[in-house]
Amino acid sequence: MKQPIYLDNNATTPLDPRVLEAMLPYFTEKFGNAASRNHAFGWVAEEGVDYAREEVAKLIGCTEKEIIFTSGATEADNLAIKGVFEMYKEKGNHIITAVTEHKAVLDTCKHLEKNGARVTYLGVKEDGLIDLAELEAAMTPETILVSIMYGNNEIGVIQPVKEIAAIAHKHGALFMTDATQAVGKIPVDVNADGIDLMAFSAHKMYGPKGVGALYVRRKNPRVKVTAQMDGGGHERGMRSGTLNVPGIVGLGKACELCRLEMESEAIRLSALRDKLESTLSKMEESYVNGNTQHRLPHVANISFKYVEGEGLMMAMSDLAVSSGSACTSASLEPSYVLKSLGLSDDLAHSSIRYGLGRFTTEAEIDQAIEVTQKAVNHLRELSPLWEMFKEGIDLSKIEWAEH
């Protein structure tokens, strides 16, 4: 078994060898610029892009003309939100999003606030889902865009996208979703879901880094976004820049594989995830974070109380996982997503995210369970909080010296 075991597939996924194989010719003999209309090199490159566009469209149930290739989901989020804000200025300046969104959405919204946007950041319930009544109440005639993510990157909860879209549309607003964690993992159909704009990236679905896409609806309604980069007018004028042909082909191949394998893969991964989660949550004072009914098949987020997340990851050096602990970032603040569920800071500090993927095996999950149990028990032996808990001391009654 390869060590360490990779269980951080929400951060990024390994490139599938079949994807690499599809990409390779586009670095060498098929190196042409897809915009070169007058010779075979250009045509061959364009064929690759056409194939990819078709595969991406098939995976999410749209037409090829609705796909704008970008450098990734962050760029797609920026293009969608800034582009809609500029394009629909006349109609209004209000945007609604949620506190658990990825920074690519939150920071884009914050940027727009400096340029005259009014942004509502919806809170979430303790299971991580937004309250639809709260969304409805936040809608105004000036609301031009509702941007709510499909599946959350930290806890994996899936928002009620269809219902959110219906509320947005009822009030004449567009619905945009960052579906980076969902596309390729669960069925996403832009028409069934009522999505107007959708951002996603290749490297979360076994494709290469540095390429992603924005879906922009062309019918009912026809959505337009203002370009954020000036140049040659590629991608129907919405995203200038020479197309990253090998990357785009990789995205296309990744989408094709996901379309063909996603269904059986979701069943396999959720069984492995459930095994991991049910075993670990049987440990004393461990808690599963987020809604367990509406969520992605491959994510588990568990807090092991009285143990600090970074210390725990160090004890589990055989596992590549991530933690909501402050110590893993420069900010010293624990995960804002976990805090927004109403989790106390100490539980947020004690959380570990396991992200399973296409190459995760049952043997690896068995070992992950064993390593985690051993590490948690070891660190609890070192933990004064665990000792106090065991002695029946109420930790909330202690006056801690905050520092």
Contacts 24+ apart (CB under 8 A), 112-115: 112/81, 112/82, 112/85, 115/85
Tokens describing residue 362: 């049952």
Q: 73 vs 197, 200, 220, 325, 365, CA distance in Å?
A: 12, 5, 24, 25, 29
Residue count at the site for other proteins (CB under 8 A)? 30
Nearer to other proteins, 126 or 345 (CB): 345
**Which stretch, 108-116, 142-150, 163-171, 376-384, contacts other proteins (CB under 8 A)?**
376-384
Tell me if 307 contacts other proteins by CB under 8 A.
yes
Q: 107 vs 223, 370, 374, CA distance in Å?
A: 23, 39, 39
- Minimum separation from the CB atom of position 307 to other proteins (A): 7
Measuring CA to CA, which residue among 70, 68, 59, 67 is closest to residue 253?
59
Nearer to other proteins, 83 or 311 (CB): 311
Tell me if 320 contacts other proteins by CB under 8 A.
no
Helix (H) or strand (E) holding 248: helix 245-280
User: Sign of torsion, CA 244 102 296 121?
Assistant: negative
Strands (E), 78-227: 94-98, 118-122, 143-147, 174-178, 197-201, 212-216
Each residue 322-361 as x (binds other proteins by CB under 8 A) or -, in order, gives ---xxx--x-x-x---------xxx--x------------
Tell me if 363 contacts other proteins by CB under 8 A.
no
Residue 327 a catalytic site member = yes
**Which stretch, 231-239, 248-256, 271-279, 311-319, contacts other proteins (CB under 8 A)?**
311-319
Tell me if 395 contacts other proteins by CB under 8 A.
yes
Nearer to other proteins, 167 or 347 (CB): 347
Tell me if 403 contacts other proteins by CB under 8 A.
yes
Alpha carbon 57 to chain centroid distance? 19
Residues that bind other proteins (CB under 8 A): 306-311, 314-315, 325-327, 330, 332, 334, 344-346, 349, 381-387, 395, 400-403
Residue numbers annotated as active site: 327
